[in-house]
Amino acid sequence: MVRLARLRFKGARAGCAVLVATLLAAQALASSTVYKWVDEYGTVHLSTSKPPAGVQYQTLNIGSTSSSSSRPASGSGSVAAKKPPPPASPQLLAQRSEVLSSLQTRECVLALETLDRLTSGTKPTSATELARLKQTAELNCSKDPARRREQEQMAARLRVANSPECVSARNQLADMMAPGSRTPRVQVQSQQAFVDDHCTPPVQ
């Protein structure tokens, strides 16, 4: 009986250890969440902090295989108090920072490219749309001068990649690679190299 009791105690202790490890992993995951939302003016925000109550947002859990979800942030309710999650590991924090920086760069480049295209075009653009794009760029573009120049260069490459010439080049490449095409391999390779060098968007 004593031996059986010990085995049961060991089994219960192992179960508790698994439960504690699972809870700690869940808490660490919660501290590695990136939030994305659009405010009333259409400006895109990316942050590791939750948006104001009532704002619809998307989440990206770093280290999780689950897809992003979208739901409104709640500001009140009878939710049981939770203990604050333990600090995330340095590796997880670095990963979160890298993902957040990548997302912010994407929003920055898209805003800069659209802003440049609209302001240099002939079609009229509303002041509200221009203000939204400028605000999105201000929030997401880097404050470091060197990094900001890199983002502006990426926006210029994106502008070229979206140009009619590059659209035509990608269509020609697709035609050359279509089943039944008799385009010489050398010509296909040349067209592919041109598309890779000049017409590949730096961000998707």
In the chain, domain spans: 164-198
As given in the structure block, the two tokens for residue 124 are 């009229």
Give 131-158 pLDDT, tens digit per residue: 989 999 999 999 999 999 999 999 999 9
Q: Which of 19-28, 43-52, 115-124, 154-163 has the lowest mean pLDDT?
A: 19-28
User: What pLDDT does residue 173 have?
Assistant: 95
Task: Report whether pLDDT(15) > 90.
Answer: no
User: What pLDDT does residue 51 have?
Assistant: 79
H helix intervals, 58-182: 90-120, 127-140, 145-161, 164-176
Question: In a 10 Å sphere around its CB, with 0-12 CB exposed, 13-18 middle and 19+ buried, how is residue 37 labelled?
Answer: buried
Query: What's the Cα-to-Cα distance from 148 to each of 30, 94, 96, 109, 153, rounded to whole Å?
Result: 30, 21, 21, 10, 9
User: What pLDDT does residue 146 have?
Assistant: 96
